[in-house]
Amino acid sequence: MINFYFSDEYLNHDTGSHPESVERIKVVNKLLLKEYSNHNFYTPSLACKELIANVHDIDYVNDIFDKIPISDLIYLDPDTIASPGSLKSYLSAVGGSVDAVDHILSSTKEKNVYFCAHRPPGHHAEKNRAMGFGVFNNVAISAQYAFNKKKFSKILIVDFDVHHGNGTQHIFQDNPNIYYASSHQFPFYPGTGDISEIGQGNIFNCPLPAGCNSNLFRKLFKENIIEKINESFDLLYFSAGFDSHKLDPLASINLEDDDFEWITETVIKKFALNIPIISVLEGGYDMKALYSGLNNHLKVLQKYSDD
Protein backbone atom coordinates (compact mmCIF):
# COMPACT_ATOMS: atom_id res chain seq x y z
CA MET A 1 0.00 0.00 0.00
CA ILE A 2 1.12 3.55 -0.72
CA ASN A 3 0.66 6.06 2.08
CA PHE A 4 -0.67 9.26 0.53
CA TYR A 5 -0.57 12.72 2.07
CA PHE A 6 -3.12 15.12 0.60
CA SER A 7 -4.95 18.20 1.84
CA ASP A 8 -7.88 20.23 0.53
CA GLU A 9 -5.84 23.25 1.66
CA TYR A 10 -3.99 22.99 -1.67
CA LEU A 11 -7.19 24.14 -3.37
CA ASN A 12 -7.00 27.41 -1.41
CA HIS A 13 -3.54 28.40 -2.68
CA ASP A 14 -4.85 30.70 -5.41
CA THR A 15 -2.35 31.68 -8.11
CA GLY A 16 -4.80 32.91 -10.74
CA SER A 17 -3.76 31.99 -14.29
CA HIS A 18 -0.25 30.99 -13.19
CA PRO A 19 1.11 27.63 -14.50
CA GLU A 20 1.33 26.34 -10.90
CA SER A 21 -2.44 26.51 -10.51
CA VAL A 22 -5.20 24.82 -8.56
CA GLU A 23 -5.92 22.73 -11.66
CA ARG A 24 -2.74 20.75 -11.06
CA ILE A 25 -3.85 19.41 -7.70
CA LYS A 26 -7.36 18.74 -9.05
CA VAL A 27 -5.81 16.49 -11.70
CA VAL A 28 -3.69 14.73 -9.08
CA ASN A 29 -6.71 14.23 -6.83
CA LYS A 30 -8.71 12.83 -9.76
CA LEU A 31 -5.99 10.27 -10.42
CA LEU A 32 -5.70 9.25 -6.77
CA LEU A 33 -9.46 8.80 -6.37
CA LYS A 34 -9.78 6.82 -9.61
CA GLU A 35 -6.77 4.50 -9.38
CA TYR A 36 -5.54 4.49 -5.76
CA SER A 37 -8.59 4.95 -3.52
CA ASN A 38 -7.88 1.64 -1.75
CA HIS A 39 -4.56 2.91 -0.42
CA ASN A 40 -3.90 4.80 2.81
CA PHE A 41 -4.69 8.51 2.91
CA TYR A 42 -3.55 10.97 5.57
CA THR A 43 -4.18 14.65 6.14
CA PRO A 44 -0.88 16.51 6.58
CA SER A 45 -0.17 18.35 9.79
CA LEU A 46 0.63 22.05 9.66
CA ALA A 47 4.36 22.66 10.08
CA CYS A 48 5.49 25.10 12.75
CA LYS A 49 8.06 27.84 12.22
CA GLU A 50 10.69 25.98 14.25
CA LEU A 51 10.45 22.93 11.99
CA ILE A 52 10.83 25.03 8.84
CA ALA A 53 13.79 26.84 10.42
CA ASN A 54 15.76 23.59 10.49
CA VAL A 55 16.51 24.48 6.85
CA HIS A 56 15.38 28.06 6.24
CA ASP A 57 16.61 31.20 7.99
CA ILE A 58 14.12 32.11 10.73
CA ASP A 59 14.03 35.75 9.58
CA TYR A 60 12.96 34.54 6.15
CA VAL A 61 10.29 32.27 7.66
CA ASN A 62 8.89 35.14 9.72
CA ASP A 63 8.91 37.37 6.67
CA ILE A 64 6.83 34.88 4.67
CA PHE A 65 4.26 34.67 7.47
CA ASP A 66 4.08 38.46 7.61
CA LYS A 67 3.71 38.88 3.84
CA ILE A 68 0.65 36.67 3.34
CA PRO A 69 -1.95 39.10 1.94
CA ILE A 70 -5.38 39.74 3.39
CA SER A 71 -6.80 40.07 -0.11
CA ASP A 72 -5.69 39.73 -3.73
CA LEU A 73 -2.42 38.15 -4.86
CA ILE A 74 1.17 39.24 -4.25
CA TYR A 75 4.47 38.15 -5.77
CA LEU A 76 7.15 36.83 -3.39
CA ASP A 77 9.54 36.70 -6.35
CA PRO A 78 8.89 37.19 -10.10
CA ASP A 79 7.53 33.62 -10.41
CA THR A 80 6.10 32.92 -6.95
CA ILE A 81 2.62 34.00 -5.86
CA ALA A 82 0.94 34.18 -2.45
CA SER A 83 -2.79 34.58 -1.82
CA PRO A 84 -4.80 34.84 1.41
CA GLY A 85 -5.22 31.03 1.41
CA SER A 86 -1.60 30.17 0.63
CA LEU A 87 -0.02 29.89 4.07
CA LYS A 88 -1.83 26.71 5.13
CA SER A 89 -0.93 25.17 1.78
CA TYR A 90 2.75 25.97 2.38
CA LEU A 91 2.58 24.57 5.91
CA SER A 92 0.68 21.43 4.86
CA ALA A 93 3.24 20.68 2.16
CA VAL A 94 6.05 20.84 4.71
CA GLY A 95 4.04 19.11 7.43
CA GLY A 96 3.03 16.15 5.27
CA SER A 97 6.58 15.65 4.06
CA VAL A 98 7.76 15.46 7.68
CA ASP A 99 4.78 13.36 8.78
CA ALA A 100 6.00 10.66 6.40
CA VAL A 101 9.28 10.46 8.35
CA ASP A 102 7.46 10.14 11.66
CA HIS A 103 5.29 7.40 10.15
CA ILE A 104 8.39 5.51 9.07
CA LEU A 105 9.92 5.82 12.53
CA SER A 106 6.77 4.42 14.18
CA SER A 107 6.29 1.59 11.67
CA THR A 108 7.48 -2.00 11.97
CA LYS A 109 7.70 -2.38 8.18
CA GLU A 110 10.93 -2.02 6.21
CA LYS A 111 9.48 -0.94 2.88
CA ASN A 112 7.08 1.87 3.67
CA VAL A 113 6.28 3.97 0.59
CA TYR A 114 4.84 7.47 0.69
CA PHE A 115 3.60 9.94 -1.88
CA CYS A 116 3.13 13.54 -0.82
CA ALA A 117 0.61 15.13 -3.18
CA HIS A 118 1.56 18.67 -2.25
CA ARG A 119 1.60 22.12 -3.75
CA PRO A 120 3.39 24.37 -4.28
CA PRO A 121 6.61 22.58 -5.30
CA GLY A 122 9.65 23.37 -3.21
CA HIS A 123 12.96 22.34 -4.74
CA HIS A 124 13.85 25.86 -5.93
CA ALA A 125 13.31 27.44 -2.50
CA GLU A 126 16.61 28.60 -1.03
CA LYS A 127 17.41 29.03 2.66
CA ASN A 128 16.35 32.66 2.56
CA ARG A 129 14.50 33.12 -0.72
CA ALA A 130 11.25 32.08 -2.39
CA MET A 131 11.90 31.00 -5.95
CA GLY A 132 10.43 29.10 -8.88
CA PHE A 133 6.84 28.85 -7.58
CA GLY A 134 8.02 27.53 -4.17
CA VAL A 135 8.39 29.14 -0.74
CA PHE A 136 9.59 26.37 1.58
CA ASN A 137 11.70 23.42 0.42
CA ASN A 138 9.48 20.46 1.31
CA VAL A 139 11.95 17.69 0.49
CA ALA A 140 14.93 19.42 2.11
CA ILE A 141 13.05 20.12 5.35
CA SER A 142 11.86 16.52 5.50
CA ALA A 143 15.32 15.08 4.73
CA GLN A 144 17.01 17.31 7.31
CA TYR A 145 14.39 16.31 9.88
CA ALA A 146 15.00 12.63 9.10
CA PHE A 147 18.75 13.07 9.39
CA ASN A 148 18.39 14.94 12.70
CA LYS A 149 16.53 11.93 14.14
CA LYS A 150 19.80 9.94 13.82
CA LYS A 151 17.95 6.91 12.48
CA PHE A 152 19.12 7.43 8.88
CA SER A 153 22.86 7.69 8.41
CA LYS A 154 22.79 8.25 4.64
CA ILE A 155 19.94 9.70 2.57
CA LEU A 156 19.50 9.94 -1.20
CA ILE A 157 17.33 12.52 -2.99
CA VAL A 158 16.66 11.86 -6.70
CA ASP A 159 15.11 14.81 -8.51
CA PHE A 160 13.70 14.19 -11.99
CA ASP A 161 11.88 17.50 -12.40
CA VAL A 162 12.92 19.20 -15.65
CA HIS A 163 14.34 22.14 -13.68
CA HIS A 164 17.38 21.79 -11.46
CA GLY A 165 16.62 21.88 -7.74
CA ASN A 166 19.01 24.68 -6.88
CA GLY A 167 17.59 25.08 -3.39
CA THR A 168 17.97 21.43 -2.46
CA GLN A 169 21.51 21.28 -3.85
CA HIS A 170 22.62 24.42 -2.04
CA ILE A 171 21.09 23.29 1.25
CA PHE A 172 22.91 19.94 1.23
CA GLN A 173 26.06 20.51 -0.80
CA ASP A 174 28.19 20.58 2.35
CA ASN A 175 26.53 17.57 4.01
CA PRO A 176 28.32 14.40 2.84
CA ASN A 177 25.58 12.20 4.32
CA ILE A 178 22.73 13.57 2.21
CA TYR A 179 23.15 12.94 -1.51
CA TYR A 180 21.36 14.93 -4.18
CA ALA A 181 21.05 13.65 -7.77
CA SER A 182 19.22 15.60 -10.45
CA SER A 183 18.39 15.21 -14.13
CA HIS A 184 17.31 18.48 -15.76
CA GLN A 185 17.38 20.56 -18.90
CA PHE A 186 20.61 22.56 -19.03
CA PRO A 187 21.36 25.36 -19.66
CA PHE A 188 17.93 26.42 -18.47
CA TYR A 189 16.17 27.91 -15.46
CA PRO A 190 17.44 28.34 -12.75
CA GLY A 191 20.96 28.27 -14.25
CA THR A 192 22.49 25.82 -11.79
CA GLY A 193 23.11 22.10 -12.18
CA ASP A 194 26.28 21.85 -14.23
CA ILE A 195 27.94 18.44 -14.12
CA SER A 196 30.97 20.05 -12.43
CA GLU A 197 28.94 20.92 -9.32
CA ILE A 198 29.76 18.02 -6.99
CA GLY A 199 29.54 19.42 -3.43
CA GLN A 200 31.41 17.13 -1.03
CA GLY A 201 31.15 14.27 -3.50
CA ASN A 202 27.44 14.06 -2.69
CA ILE A 203 26.02 16.05 -5.64
CA PHE A 204 25.37 14.29 -8.96
CA ASN A 205 23.99 16.39 -11.79
CA CYS A 206 22.76 14.99 -15.10
CA PRO A 207 22.34 17.91 -17.55
CA LEU A 208 20.03 17.22 -20.50
CA PRO A 209 20.20 19.14 -23.81
CA ALA A 210 17.08 20.83 -25.14
CA GLY A 211 15.16 18.40 -27.33
CA CYS A 212 16.47 15.36 -25.43
CA ASN A 213 14.44 12.24 -26.25
CA SER A 214 13.83 9.05 -24.27
CA ASN A 215 16.85 7.14 -25.52
CA LEU A 216 19.32 9.93 -24.80
CA PHE A 217 17.70 10.65 -21.44
CA ARG A 218 18.02 7.04 -20.29
CA LYS A 219 21.63 6.86 -21.46
CA LEU A 220 22.62 10.06 -19.64
CA PHE A 221 20.65 9.21 -16.51
CA LYS A 222 22.38 5.85 -16.21
CA GLU A 223 25.85 7.29 -16.87
CA ASN A 224 25.61 10.29 -14.56
CA ILE A 225 23.45 9.00 -11.70
CA ILE A 226 22.87 5.25 -11.60
CA GLU A 227 26.43 4.18 -12.48
CA LYS A 228 28.21 6.97 -10.60
CA ILE A 229 26.57 6.52 -7.20
CA ASN A 230 27.75 3.40 -5.40
CA GLU A 231 26.60 3.87 -1.82
CA SER A 232 24.05 2.24 0.42
CA PHE A 233 21.26 4.44 1.73
CA ASP A 234 18.75 4.25 4.57
CA LEU A 235 16.08 6.46 3.01
CA LEU A 236 15.20 7.51 -0.55
CA TYR A 237 13.39 10.66 -1.63
CA PHE A 238 12.03 11.45 -5.05
CA SER A 239 11.53 15.07 -6.04
CA ALA A 240 8.93 13.98 -8.56
CA GLY A 241 8.36 16.50 -11.34
CA PHE A 242 6.62 15.61 -14.58
CA ASP A 243 7.52 18.67 -16.64
CA SER A 244 10.14 16.80 -18.65
CA HIS A 245 7.24 15.21 -20.55
CA LYS A 246 7.10 16.09 -24.25
CA LEU A 247 3.72 17.81 -23.78
CA ASP A 248 4.86 20.17 -21.03
CA PRO A 249 4.83 23.85 -22.08
CA LEU A 250 7.56 25.10 -19.73
CA ALA A 251 10.54 23.12 -21.04
CA SER A 252 11.98 21.33 -24.07
CA ILE A 253 12.64 17.74 -22.96
CA ASN A 254 10.69 15.07 -24.82
CA LEU A 255 10.06 12.22 -22.41
CA GLU A 256 7.22 9.75 -22.97
CA ASP A 257 4.74 8.43 -20.40
CA ASP A 258 6.68 5.23 -19.76
CA ASP A 259 9.93 7.08 -19.06
CA PHE A 260 8.56 7.97 -15.63
CA GLU A 261 7.99 4.30 -14.94
CA TRP A 262 11.56 3.60 -16.08
CA ILE A 263 13.08 6.34 -13.88
CA THR A 264 11.26 5.11 -10.79
CA GLU A 265 12.01 1.43 -11.38
CA THR A 266 15.67 2.04 -12.21
CA VAL A 267 16.31 4.15 -9.11
CA ILE A 268 14.51 1.79 -6.75
CA LYS A 269 16.24 -1.32 -8.11
CA LYS A 270 19.67 0.24 -7.56
CA PHE A 271 19.14 2.06 -4.28
CA ALA A 272 15.89 1.24 -2.48
CA LEU A 273 14.77 -2.37 -2.62
CA ASN A 274 14.60 -2.64 1.17
CA ILE A 275 14.44 0.92 2.47
CA PRO A 276 11.60 3.45 2.89
CA ILE A 277 10.70 5.76 0.01
CA ILE A 278 9.18 9.23 0.22
CA SER A 279 8.14 10.80 -3.07
CA VAL A 280 7.12 14.47 -3.10
CA LEU A 281 5.36 16.19 -5.99
CA GLU A 282 7.29 18.95 -7.72
CA GLY A 283 6.46 20.30 -11.22
CA GLY A 284 4.31 19.25 -14.15
CA TYR A 285 2.21 21.82 -16.01
CA ASP A 286 0.44 19.95 -18.79
CA MET A 287 -2.55 18.24 -17.22
CA LYS A 288 -2.55 15.16 -19.47
CA ALA A 289 1.19 14.67 -18.99
CA LEU A 290 0.92 15.19 -15.24
CA TYR A 291 -1.86 12.60 -14.95
CA SER A 292 -0.14 9.93 -17.04
CA GLY A 293 3.40 10.57 -15.80
CA LEU A 294 2.37 10.51 -12.16
CA ASN A 295 0.30 7.37 -12.69
CA ASN A 296 3.35 5.57 -14.12
CA HIS A 297 5.45 6.73 -11.16
CA LEU A 298 2.84 5.54 -8.66
CA LYS A 299 2.41 2.15 -10.35
CA VAL A 300 6.05 1.40 -9.59
CA LEU A 301 5.85 2.74 -6.03
CA GLN A 302 2.86 0.45 -5.49
CA LYS A 303 4.84 -2.51 -6.79
CA TYR A 304 7.64 -1.98 -4.27
CA SER A 305 5.52 -1.16 -1.24
CA ASP A 306 4.59 -3.58 1.50
CA ASP A 307 0.93 -4.61 1.66
* Degrees, nearest 5: CA angle 271-181-20: 115
Q: What is the Cα–Cα distance from 120 to 162, expressed in whole angstroms?
A: 16
Tally the C-alpha atoms within 13 A of residue 251's C-alpha that lie toward its C-beta: 31
Total Cβ atoms within 10 A of residue 131: 21
Best CA proximity match to 44, nearest among 89, 84, 5: 5
Assess whether 124 carries a catalytic annotation. Answer: yes
Among the options 103, 124, 163, 245, which is catalytic? 124
Catalytic residues: 124
